[in-house]
Amino acid sequence: ALLHEDTELKFFKTGDSQIKITGSIKTTSSQNAIVKPDFKFEDMGIGGLDEEFSAIFRRAFASRIFPSSLVEKLGIQHVRGVLLFGPPGTGKTLMARQIGKMLNAHEPKIVNGPEVLNKFVGQSEENIRNLFKDAENEYKAKGDESKLHIIIFDELDAICKQRSGQSNGGTGVGDSIVNQLLSKMDGVDQLNNILIIGMTNRLDLIDEALLRPGRLEVHMEIGLPTETGRLHILKIHTSKMRTNK
């Protein structure tokens, strides 16, 4: 192999290696770019939610655009959680899906709240831990250079209700699930390569500990569309008619 002035060498360690690589990667190659290089925002097919989407992007993804070395120097903490709330049918699930497609990240894990629950003791908490396992393994191997792992919780209110502190004759599994999720998102071994997107139409039911900074800190209301938004939605749904004349 020939080394020239423009040759770039990148070193990565395996997960079980005891070697610690120091230094900084100043490049912003497509490998570390947060948005897919070939992605077009017109392809998202989200109507009437331009302001909400730009606000989410600015607050949740702006820090991830910069190289990890610069983020470390600035002392910025990445946003780890976004909560979308609003009436049913306003586009919360659609926006979460499209955010997953847009980002240069692993395939999002989509979880419907009730699917986490299991009749066996401890299995529900195990289901939560398994969602974070891939992200933990990659973070151990690559650190801040690992790709983003996205976990989307639909119907979050089904599993993250306010903790009562009492089982009231039940198993108390609801409290245990919330505790497990809290520890994984912002516990002692916190991860910097995860993004949790939660969706609910009952914000009042969600446990308050989940809504503080460091967890689901970006709260975005997805409301009913305006007149301009409704026109945009109509254009999206009739685009195939226009294409086929």
Predicted pLDDT at 244: 93
Predicted pLDDT at 67: 76
Mean pLDDT along residues 57-61: 82
Residue 158 CB partners (closer than 8 Å, separation 6+): 112, 113, 114, 117
Residues of the chain above pLDDT 70, percent: 80
Q: Which two tokens stand for residue 200?
A: 């609910």
On whether the pTM is more than 0.85, the answer is no
Predicted pLDDT at 39: 63
Min mean pLDDT across 8-17, 66-75, 76-85, 101-110 is at: 8-17
Predicted pLDDT at 172: 58
The pLDDT tens digits for 78-118 are 888 899 998 888 888 888 888 877 777 788 888 887 777 77
Half-sphere exposure of residue 174, counting CA atoms within 13 Å on the CB side? 19
